[in-house]
Amino acid sequence: VVVADYNHLFNEGVRDSTLAALGLKLEQLIIVVDEAHNLPERIRSGLERRLTPLLVRNAKPDLEEHLGNVSERLGRGPHTDMIEWTTQVMDALAPLVQGYFARLHTDLAAAADDAVRRRRKGERGVYEPKELEVKAEELLGLINDACDTVDGVSGQTTLTTPAPAATVERLDRLNVLREVLRDAEVEVDPEATQDAESDAQRLGAVLDDLVRFGDTTGHLFCFSPEGRAGRITSHLLDPGLVSGPVLNASAGAVLMSGTLYPPSMYADLLNLPVKRTTVRSYPSPFASQRRPVVVATDVTTTYRQRSPANTARMQEHLRALIQAAPGHAAVFAPS
């Protein structure tokens, strides 16, 4: 029995590492998901990515460090050529992304001005937009333009223009870029968390989303002007795109929760295999009239308001309840 966070199964990168370490395959697992009503939102939030011009610029030095590490360990060869080619693409991509963000700022301001004018004319239900939808094909276009520049397909080339470090077929570009970026070996801040990623790896995760969900209606990229230069955030709208393949590939699964209602809705939301899914709902075994709710107004669990006096009052309330209640008692408290 292995007890783990949702991410160990429903985050692709974490799942691959976890199963490899355990020597197991997804088809061998029987999955038990407790508090399964939280699973859709956990999947959505776990796949939220952010793209900024700074992220793209920082990917280049990350890759240069990665190239040095790999060259020192394995020597030069086709593998280092791919890293060098990816570095060249990041160098070409940075100004394209910078210009694209400037256009998004302009478009958002124009849309907000238009909304103000329409409201002044008396139109109802018109609101100033705070975000703009970004089409996946526009991001793919920027990446392909950068690749074309490196490969000499477009843009101005001179005698000093460096030759491409590798030859990559057009259909393979995105996969090569995301794999190199995701595998970048970079030293991160030692004070950061264990799961801290480099900017190159974060950019690789954005490209992962483009590959996996770019042509689906269950995923959305949005631009907002927040931050120094604005940001593009990826949003997974349909968690079933992630949970469905995982649960369908497993040997079996049990999803349970006291608030998994209606269960058929969650089965649909998580894209459970219809022919293999059984839905059951059970009534509470406890009589409602024997489940009184008592609220103590002189105590709090708010972290900032905790104190020895507050704890003492809680203990006194619990002591009185336990003494008055026949039989056993269980107490559940926040950490």
Q: Are residues 226 and 250 in the same domain?
A: no
The answer for residues whose C-beta is within 8 angstroms of residue 281's C-beta and 6 or more apart is: 261, 262, 263
Claim to verify: residue 222 and residue 250 sit in the same structural domain: no
Q: Are residues 26 and 110 in the same domain?
A: no
CB hemisphere CA count around 44 (13 angstroms): 15
Separation of alpha carbons 128 and 122, rounded Å: 14
Q: Is residue 29 located within the same domain as residue 115? A: no
* Residue that wins the pLDDT comparison between 190 and 128: 128
Other Cβ atoms within 10 Å of 198 Cβ, number: 22
Spatial contact of 56 and 238, defined as CB atoms under 8 Å apart? no
- Binning pLDDT at 50, 70 and 90, where does residue 292 land? confident
The reply to whether 258 falls in a domain is yes
DSSP string, 241-262: HHHHHHHHHSSEEEE--TT--S
114 and 252 co-located in one domain: no
Give the pair of three-digit tokens for residue 12: 């692709």
146-187 confidence digits (pLDDT tens): 999 998 876 555 545 567 767 788 889 999 999 999 999 887
Distances (CA, A) of 239 to 10, 31, 232, 262: 10, 17, 20, 17
pLDDT tens track for 64-81? 999 999 998 888 888 899
145 and 28, same domain (yes or no): no
Contact at 8 Å (CB) between 223 and 53? no
Residue 335 within a domain: no
CATH number, residue 93 = 1.10.275
Pair (53, 154) in one structural domain: yes
Q: How far apart are CA 277 and CA 267, in angstroms?
A: 8
176 assigned to some structural domain: yes
Please write the tens of the pLDDT for every residue from 219-258: 999 999 998 899 999 999 999 999 999 999 999 999 999 8
Residues 93 and 133 in one domain: yes
- Mean of all residue pLDDT scores within the chain: 90
Same domain, 65 and 165: yes
Instruction: Say if 285 falls within a structural domain.
Output: no
Q: Tell whether 191 is covered by a domain.
A: no
Any domain includes 148: yes
- Residue 12 clears pLDDT 80, i.e. is over it: yes
Same domain, 97 and 174: yes
DSSP 269-293: HTT--GGG--------SS-GGG---
Residue 219's domain spans which residues?
Answer: 49-186+199-236
CB 150 within 8 A of CB 177: no
Q: Enter the tokens of residue 136.
A: 């996946």
Q: Classify residue 122 by its DSSP letter.
A: T
Cα–Cα dist 213/43, whole Å: 14
Paired tokens of 135: 């089409």
- The total of structural domains in the chain comes to 3
Q: Is 70 helix (H, G, I), strand (E, B) or coil?
A: helix
| H/E run at residue 203 | helix 199-213
φ/ψ of residue 223, rounded to 5: -100, 135
Structure tokens belonging to residue 58:
């920082």
Residues in the chain, how many? 335
55 with 101, same domain: the answer is yes
Are 172 and 149 part of one and the same domain?
yes
Residue 43 within any structural domain of the chain? no
pLDDT of residue 156: 56
For residue 272, tell me if it sits in a domain.
yes
- Give me 223's structure tokens: 């631009």
